Every structure is written in C-alpha cells, then in structure tokens.
Amino acid sequence: MSEQENKKIIFSGIQPTGTFTLGNYIGAVSHWGKLQDEYNCIYSIVDMHAITVRQDPVKLRQHTLEAYALIMACGVDPKKSIAFIQSHVRTHAELNWILACSTQFGELSRMTQFKDKSAKHPDDINAGLFTYPVLMAADILAYKADLVPVGVDQKQHLELARNVAQRFNSKYGELFTVPDAYIPKVGAKVMSLQDPEKKMSKSDENPNACIYILDEPDVIIRKFKRAVTDSDSVVRYAEDKPGISNLMSIYSVITGKDYASIEREFDGKGYGDFKLAVGEAVADHLKPVRDEFARLMADKAYLKECYTAGAQAALNISRKTVAKAYRKVGFVDSM
C-alpha cells in the first residue's frame, strides 16, 4: 500500500457468506480496485462478523478463501492495498472490548439490522449479533480510516462508529479519526430481479431473484429474461416502473451509458430485447472476473502468501492504535 501522507485512508470489509451477488459487485467490490490509486485502501474479509449467525465451519473456511480470491479477481491488488482476513489480525477483537465500553446499550438496541436478523434467526439471538456493530467500529477505527464505502443499509452502523469515536476522543483525548461515508454516485443499490421493491440478496428464496458474479453466462441471461417488469413495453426510467428502472440502472453501470442513451437505443423495441441485452452485457462484463477467480483458486500458495502479508501489514498499523487506546484508558504497559 502507498505510504503517501496526502492520501486519505479507506477501509472496507465484506462477509464471506457465499458468492458475491451482482449487488455486492456493483454497489461495493467493483469500486475497490478503482479506489487504489486515489486512496490508501485497506480491505478485509470479515469472517468474525460472519459467525453472528450459524455457519458450517468447513464451508466458512472455503467461503473465506473464495471471498479473498474474489476481491482480487474484482481488481484489488495486494501490492497496492492491504487485503487481509479479519480473524488473522488480533487487534480487531482487542479494540472491540475497549469500544464496547464506550458504546451505549440503547444505541445497539436501535440497530435495524439486529432486529431484522433476530427475526430471521429467532432460535439464535446471540450477544455477538447484538454487539457486532462495535466490532465493525473497531475494524474502521483501528486504521484511523477517513472514509468507509457503505450501502444505504450500513449507514446506521457507520454513524455508530462515528459516535463511539467522538465519545472516546471526548473522554480520553484525541485518538480516533471520525470516519465519513463514501457512497458511489451510480448503482449503489441493485434490486431483486423478482421483487424490484427490495434489495437483491443472496438469502432470497427465489433462485431467479439474484445474480451471482460467478454464475455461468447462460444462467445470467436466463435470470434476466425472467426478470419482473410491468405491463408496459417502453424502456423508460420512471419511479412507477421499478422493474425496468432496476434493469436500466444495471445496464447503465455495466455499459457506461446514461438513461437517455438507453431509452434511445431501445426505442421501438420490447422488453424481451432489452432483458437479453442486459443479460449479455452483464455476462460479458463478469467473464474476466470468473476467469481470474478460477486462476487464483488454483494457486492456494499464492493466495496464502497474499493474505499472510496483508495481515502482517494490517497488524503493524492497527496495533499502534490499540496500544494508544489501552494507554489512554489507563491500562499498564505490557512491555
């Protein structure tokens, strides 16, 4: 990672809970590679967050490796960025406790994602599910990140991290950078292909609702052909046409064309032609990602070399922050 002092620091993490969706790609991961030249980027596969819901240990290990390979396939260069697996860097858990003692119970009880996940997993409402926003704050604050790429559903967690940083700084003296949100201007939210009123999610029970970035081309095209639209036949972006507007948003991000250009391109053509075009554009765009992912997964030694070096670099930065936090709260120096 570049050591240039004038570059701001970006931190972002993604959970290794299965293959990334097109929504993950457009809203987050596709931007990570582009940010590397402008910012000092720190990226993490946040496997500690993943166990707030029950995981198969064998699958979690596999998904973690796959997620690491996927962020590289999507453009993250371990020579330009720090890219690591969260559980490999002990300072995240260490800082989590310090920050938990500067977080109010009421703040955590207002987190909408806790309410949503509790409803989905009523038989396992564990303490980690309740407190994981504090660990998320530790992920960010350990590196004094200036910016955090967040989707709409993560804004609340970032606001908590800001509040915790400000509260700690006010009580113990300045230490943590108060992070701001980095939100992509285009394509930040991709909706379900079967219910365009809700976000695309890998947990959707309808297999046609979600595109995975490792889906084969024929699967991608088939899912787009089955996408829910409306009874009209005009390709036009409008609030009362959520299905077609979602497809236009995806097509715009993938091709770089604005909505006016897309409307002209498909003037006089039906939804069938448009859905096919979107599917083919997405399938072609993701081919290099699929090919690079396959290459990386075939070279486990190289992957280990990258994530080991990334963890060491992350530890070198974060342990300085944690040591200062320990000293500020009054802990005796260990060495």
Q: SS3 of 121, please?
A: coil
Cα distance between the two ends of the chain: 29
The answer to whether residue 202 is catalytic is yes
Q: What is the DSSP letter of 199?
A: B
Q: Is 250 helix (H, G, I), strand (E, B) or coil?
A: helix
Helix axes 271-297, 300-329, angle to 10 degrees: 90
Region of 184 (left: φ > 0; alpha: ψ -120 to 50; beta: rest) is beta
Under 8 Å between Cβ of 193 and 23: no
The answer to whether 244 and 271 are in contact (CB under 8 A) is yes
- Catalytic position from the list 117, 144, 223, 275: 117
Residue 212 to residue 203: CA distance in whole angstroms: 12
d(CA 12, CA 213): 19
CB 60 within 8 A of CB 30: no
**Amino acid at site 291:** D
Catalytic residue among 7, 8, 189, 202: 202
| Strand order, beta sheet including 82-85 | 82-85, 40-45, 9-14, 147-149, 180-182
Contacts (Cβ under 8 Å, ≥6 apart) of 177:
9, 141, 144, 145, 146, 165
Q: Catalytic residue, from 8, 189, 199, 324: name it.
A: 199
Question: Which sequence positions are flagged as catalytic?
Answer: 117, 199, 202
